[in-house]
């Protein structure tokens, strides 16, 4: 049986995940890959997709590791006709990777 994280570590991980998911959501809202955020004052249109993508961040080694998962999340959530060009998922992955790298630097101290 694997050791469970301490309560402090668990809280830190939850906070880190929330920070990552919120940041990914902001990136997706700004980049608006399927055109649903243009007329919405609420910035949570992509919260579900952001949470799904944030789960891939701990194992990702670079933005290329995120490109496929990003496209798969959008395919699953919105279907094939709304995917748009694959290059947009490369750009999204690069933005998410930059953000996640900054969050990790801040957390590391």
Q: Which residues contact 39 (CB under 8 A, 6 or more apart)?
A: none
pLDDT of residue 83: 63
Please tell me the predicted confidence (pLDDT) of residue 86: 73
For 84, list phi and psi in degrees, rounded to 5. Answer: 75, -170
Question: What pLDDT sits at residue 50?
Answer: 96
User: What is the signed CA dihedral for 48, 50, 55, 58, rounded to 10 degrees?
Assistant: -170
The average pLDDT across 45-50 equals: 93
The residues spanned by each domain of the chain are 24-33+44-108
Say if CB 7 and CB 24 are below 8 A apart. Answer: no
| Residue 85 dihedral angles phi and psi, to the nearest 5° | -70, 145
Instruction: Show the tokens assigned to 41.
Output: 């004052």
Cα-atom radius of gyration of the chain, to the nearest Å?
Answer: 15
pLDDT beyond 80 at 100: yes
Predicted pLDDT of residue 104: 84
**How confident is the prediction for the chain on average, in pLDDT?**
87
Q: What is the maximum alpha-carbon separation in the chain? A: 49
Confidence at residue 82, expressed as pLDDT on a 0 to 100 scale: 57
Residue 20's pLDDT band, with cuts at 50, 70 and 90, is: very high
Report which DSSP code applies to 68.
H
């Amino acid at each position: 049986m694997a050791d469970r994280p301490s309560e402090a570590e668990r809280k830190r991980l939850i906070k880190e995940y929330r920070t990552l998911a919120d940041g990914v959501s902001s990136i997706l809202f700004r980049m608006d890959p399927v055109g649903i955020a243009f007329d919405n004052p609420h910035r949570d249109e992509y919260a579900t997709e952001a949470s799904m993508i944030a789960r891939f961040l701990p194992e990702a080694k670079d933005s290329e590791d995120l490109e496929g998962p990003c496209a798969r999340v959008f395919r699953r959530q919105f279907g094939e006709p709304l995917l748009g060009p694959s290059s947009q998922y490369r750009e999204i992955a690069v933005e998410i990777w930059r953000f996640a790298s900054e969050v990790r630097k801040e957390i590391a101290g």
